[in-house]
A = this chain, B = another copy of it.
């Protein structure tokens, strides 16, 4: 699949159907940037109404061009699309970009007709494996081929950009240019009926020109594939995603735009986290982060040294550093010893370092202090804040050459010690020679203190995730069920009986097959059988109604706990059956489930649901008010690694409860992870189960027990 995108990004020939010389036309600018660029392949301009365009020969039809065109760009009215696509394929196209708008994304009649045309195009393309990009897109740019179909000049550089929305491409390219960041590839994906995000990713993973990948996504299709490919890609290069649709109004805006589903944002967050995709919330944040990710050395930890001319700037920066997850450690004695003699007496050499009153006139002190920090094993990164870059500008005491020399030496320190150096400067908005020296090398310069800390924090997180990937994220095998046939039989039988969900006994049978711990259970159909089975199990016992129609058993008076003898069991049996019948006259009553009373453990919930974008998703939370009031739950997308499972347990706010508070015993985290992994296997194997709730699960010091289970069948 990814091989054939080669014909899109590096085609040996390109045809534009609907090429135009009329400056008021959309096609005009696309045609112009293609012709005016340094594209080396053949160009065919197709327009039945013209014999010549841009002083070149124009072809009446794609079938008339002199040789096959690898890539065909389609800019014609919707009603002509299916026929030009068919002709293009006949001619031998390997890739087709349909720029025309007003198809599947349109509202009303036009939208219905548009979807029909899209489907026809797809059907036609699938026969020969032609790649289709768009419709409703503004073009692509490929640096390696000097191919620009976007309509304005784009600088080449290390960033690949894939965006669903055309106007976001405009904004992003504009921002990039202002920031001096160029592009290796830029793609307006539009309605994305053909090539999907994960397919672009597969290509970009191995693209030598691309050092970082940025996506703008509105709705995700085939999210699961995206995560899978992303997991492989992040080993090579960072992926940053700006995903719209967090809010309802945001989702409304995307819906009316591309007709894509925005999806549950919590699940999107979880999935991105699992794949180590970095999610940003803004265009400016995107560029901040991207630039830093591909240009700075990766820090080995989260400990930062902060330096400036004053305690005020230092204090603000230290606050920001903490906000973004950094530690600001006390510097080693040896380091302080190197720094202290450089400072005015009484100024802090502890970290933050305050070289105020010295550095302004003699900026070399900055380099000396930074060097001492870089040499300190306890420091992973250095953040200089304050006036550097403008010392010469505001203070007559500082000669410009000295400041420029200092900046050059700072750049050298980064190369030598391979630790990131970030500079926040009050002059960050301005252009000074000193700052340019930093900027043009590996030292990012920020005009905002907060941004500098945010980006350094992001870089540290990225580096730490990368280390973790090596250490821990080796997917662990989970035992298969003892008998997959038995599981299938249970589900078949329930479906055949018209059940939309499994009764508790069926659900627990399946759990048992997967090795998930459930207490012993017996189904009693009559009172006598109940007392006999209770005897077998051993007192005290719990009794629960079993009926496909009664899901909320307590509400139906269908649960009796802690029954201590034959009398109590007999009485409970009658009461349960009577209450259930009163609760729902229509209900089919299968009997009463008897189990030993479980000793009390910490209550947790483990659940599974299927997301339209990402497929099966696992949920974990503590029981009771934690779920009901605080919504304190975590999500992960299947497949998940054992590392993911541990993380999702530790991520909830109530985690200390599991560690044991107020003298309580710690809970068996390993047992929770084991159940999560087994549920994850069950979810991927048994698509017949659409939702699952294990609630409550009791967690003990050793082991766990699923006290109640509910499974909903797929329709």
Interface residues of A, Cβ cutoff 8 Å to B = 23-24, 102, 105-108, 110-111, 152, 163-168, 170-171, 174-175, 178, 216, 218, 242, 244-254, 256-258, 281-285, 306, 308-316, 318-323, 327-328, 345-348, 350-352, 354, 356, 386-387, 390, 394, 396-397, 426-427, 429-430, 447-450, 625, 628-630, 653-654, 656-657, 661-662
**In this complex, what residue of B is CB-closest to A178?**
B429
Instruction: Other than A23-B396, A254-B311, A283-B316, give 15 A-B pairs with Cβ distance below 8 A.
Output: A107-B345, A110-B345, A165-B315, A168-B313, A171-B426, A174-B426, A244-B318, A245-B315, A248-B328, A249-B328, A253-B318, A256-B348, A256-B354, A281-B323, A629-B657
Which residues of the other chain, B, contact A308 by a CB distance below 8 angstroms?
167
Complex: how many Å from CA A258 to CA B254? 51
A465-B171 Cα distance, complex, nearest whole Å: 35
Interchain nearest-CB distance for A382 vs B (Å)? 14
List of B residues within 8 angstroms of A108 by Cβ: 346
- Bound complex: CA A173 to CA B501 (Å): 68
Given contacts A253-B352, A350-B256, contact A168 B312 (CB under 8 A): yes
The distance from the CB of A306 to the nearest CB of chain B, in whole angstroms, is 7
Residue of B nearest to A24 (CB): B397
How many Å from the CB of A652 to the closest CB on chain B? Answer: 11
Instruction: List the B side residues contacting A105 at CB < 8 Å.
Output: 346
Contact of A315 with B254 in the complex, beta carbons under 8 Å: yes
Which residues of B are found within 8 Å of A254, using beta-carbon distances?
311, 315
Task: Report yes or no: A246 in contact with B168, Cβ–Cβ below 8 A.
Answer: no
**Complex Cα–Cα for A390 and B173 (A):** 14
Which residues does chain B contribute within 8 Å of A164, judged by CB atoms? 312
**Nearest Cβ on chain B to A424's Cβ, whole angstroms:** 10
B residues near A449, Cβ cutoff 8 Å: 282-284
Closest to A245 in B: B315
With A and B bound together, what is the CA distance between A167 and B310 in angstroms? 6
Question: Whole-angstrom distance from the CB of A677 to the nearest CB of chain B?
Answer: 26
Partner of A282, one of B251, B394, B450: B450
**Judging by beta carbons under 8 Å apart, are A319 and B448 in contact?**
no
Closest to A175 in B: B426
**A108-B346, A167-B310, A310-B166 known; A351 vs B629 contact (CB < 8 Å):** no
CB<8 Å pairs between A and B, sample of 7: A24-B397, A171-B313, A246-B322, A247-B322, A254-B315, A257-B314, A282-B449
Q: Is B657 touching A625 in the complex (CB atoms < 8 A)? A: yes
Bound CA span A321–B244, Å: 12
| Known contacts A170-B426, A448-B282; A321/B247 CB under 8 A | yes
Could you tell me if A346 and B316 are in contact, using CB atoms closer than 8 angstroms?
no
Q: Are B309 and A167 in contact (CB under 8 A)?
A: yes
Determine the chain B residues whose CB is within 8 A of the CB of A397 once the complex forms. 24
Q: Is the CB of B312 within 8 A of A218?
A: yes
Contact B167–A319 (Cβ < 8 Å): no
| Whole-angstrom CA separation of A381 from B393 in the bound complex | 40
Q: Are A348 and B316 in contact (CB under 8 A)?
A: no
Residues of B within 8 A of A250 (CB): 315-316, 318-319, 322
> Measured between alpha carbons, how far is A345 from B218 in the docked complex, in Å?
21
Q: Are B310 and A244 in contact (CB under 8 A)?
A: no
Check B244 against A312 for contact (C-beta < 8 Å). yes
Given A250-B322, A356-B167, are A316 and B282 neighbors across the interface (CB < 8 Å)?
yes
What B residues does A327 contact at CB under 8 A? 249
Shortest CB-to-CB span from A283 to chain B, Å, is 6
B257 touches A322 (CB 8 A): no
Asked if A244 and B316 sit within 8 Å, CB to CB, the answer is yes
CA distance in complex: A352, B661 (Å)? 48
The reply to whether A246 and B111 form a contact with Cβ atoms under 8 Å apart is: no
Smallest beta-carbon distance A693→chain B, Å: 17
Q: Nearest chain-B residue to A385 (Cβ)?
A: B171
B contact residues around A625 at 8 Å (CB)? 654, 657, 661
Give A110 to B346 CA distance when docked, in angstroms.
Answer: 9
| Closest beta carbon of chain B to A527's beta carbon, Å | 31
Query: How many angstroms between the C-alpha atoms of A316 and B171 in the bound complex?
Result: 12
In the complex with contacts A318-B250, A321-B247, A165-B629 CB distance below 8 A: no
CB-nearest residue of chain B relative to A304? Answer: B249
